[in-house]
Amino acid sequence: MTALFNCPAYLYLQFAEAMGPSSAFVELSFALGREMKITVIVQKGLTSPYMLRGFSGVAAKLRFISEARIYTEVESSDEAASLIVSNGRELLGLA
């Protein structure tokens, strides 16, 4: 959490079903609470965690997270890596 405290953006990646509680959800909540720039990448076909379902709609209504970037149609971790490399800081909302 100390490292996250000083970060301007948070990247959430999910390539497997979430089977229970996870520290990643705590970190995502922390990032939202700190009004950080949020980018979410969930592999296509996976069930999004409850807190992320409808997230785009919620983000659009809240001024401080209106620029959250949500990608739920990524086919693989290789595609996510390519997306990150191709877009760099812009993907994280830092450019």
**Using one digit for the tens of pLDDT, what is the confidence trace for 41-68?**
999 999 776 766 766 666 666 665 656 7
Q: Give the mean model confidence (pLDDT) for residues 16-27.
A: 85
Most confident of 20-24, 37-41, 69-73, 79-83: 79-83
> Taking the complete model, does pTM exceed 0.75, yes or no?
yes
- pLDDT tens digit string along 23-36? 888 888 888 888 88
Q: Which two tokens stand for residue 62?
A: 């809240």
| Position 85 confidence tier, pLDDT thresholds 50, 70, 90 | very high
Close Cβ partners of 62 (under 8 Å, ≥ 6 residues apart): none
